[in-house]
Chain A
């Protein structure tokens, strides 16, 4: 390491060239941790958590529904933050991070809507209702899809990042709307069982299962996004010397 990169300190990780191998090193660990949380989470969800008094066994879909919903909102905030940093500082890696996060966010939003629908039919009596919570989550899904489509539609990556970043930042206003929708308006969707200000209104083992599954989803999202960002780096930097060397090394 020469003097110049040392002076940059933490900022040197904003270079795709330094981040590429770092992400590669972190990847297996996130997969391992995600798998461990997944095994523990599924075990608690199916075998430890008790039957619910009102909903019987059907409530167990909560162990996928809630983590997916949380991640869909959280990933959007992280994606918008990267997009904003990229827009303000002009760092290339930020745009790549935002691009890498979007498909996982869209997957989480879709999973949340799908499991919610499957849950709503037996419990509420309907697959879908245009209530504030459901509608705003659907908008979140469309924001992800819109972001992916907009970035893909523009050939120049720097301009694609900029356009995507503006969409991502504008859409961030939707996240608090999703979260507070059940408080601000009367809706069919019940309020939150878990909040930062009071103890969760569910049995402890149920809560534990949900948290373990949420951690699994979180670690999975990081792992899969790091894989995707590495692929994006290779694609965008394909004309640079170091990528050629890296790819040549991998092929041999």
Chain B
């Protein structure tokens, strides 16, 4: 074995062991890396007790109600839903039927009191005409 072959083997072996270590580490930290949990997970008791955490999901269509600066809406993962109350300014992209990530605490009454509301958009980019065409097609042919 030539010295440079040996060095190359050490590098490849080193990279493989680092990759393995990273995989194990990230697997162990999985729940900490996730930015939010879903309403289903919250209702299954997987939310941290007495601490602020984030919930991610869709803002249920028709659930938004405003009184002064306070907004009430329902966040849903299409299976389970959680009512949310938030006082403050909402991002422009926050809309019913769209994704949102909210941070706050779960009250004793089951209402999630949010301190921060963020809008989550998808990876689709299209001109307004194309969006209009898709929306019309969906309205005409409901699932």
Residues of chain A at the chain B interface (Cβ within 8 Å): 50-55, 59, 62, 84, 87-90, 122-126, 129-132, 169-170, 172-173, 177, 184-188, 190-193, 201-203, 206
Contact = CB atoms under 8 A, between A and B. Distances in A.
Given A125-B90, A132-B35, A173-B22, A190 B122 contact: yes
Of A59, A84, A88, A187, chain B has the most CB atoms within 10 Å of the CB of A88
Interface size, B (range): 35 or more
A84 B18 CA distance: 15
Interface of B: 4, 7-8, 11, 14-15, 18-19, 22, 26, 30, 33-36, 56, 90-94, 101, 116-132
A125 B126 contact: no
A123 B35 contact: no
B33 A132 contact: yes
B131 A190 contact: no
Q: Which 4 A-B pairs have the closest CB atoms?
A: A125-B91, A53-B131, A50-B127, A202-B125
Contacts of B128: 50-51, 53
Given A84-B11, A123-B119, A188-B118, A202 B124 contact: yes
Contacts of A122: 91-92
26 contacts: A52-B125, A52-B127, A53-B128, A53-B132, A54-B131, A84-B11, A88-B8, A124-B91, A124-B121, A125-B118, A126-B116, A130-B35, A131-B35, A132-B33, A132-B34, A169-B11, A169-B14, A173-B15, A173-B22, A185-B35, A187-B35, A188-B35, A188-B101, A191-B123, A193-B124, A206-B125
Contacts of A193: 123-125
A186 to B, nearest CB: 5
Given A170-B18, A201-B123, A201-B124, 16 more contacts: A53-B131, A54-B131, A84-B11, A88-B8, A125-B90, A126-B118, A129-B118, A169-B11, A172-B15, A173-B15, A185-B35, A188-B35, A188-B120, A193-B123, A193-B124, A201-B125
A63 to B, nearest CB: 11
B18 A173 contact: yes
B131 to A, nearest CB: 3
Nearest to B128: A53
A170 B18 CA distance: 7
Contacts of B90: 125
Nearest to A124: B118
B121 A123 contact: yes
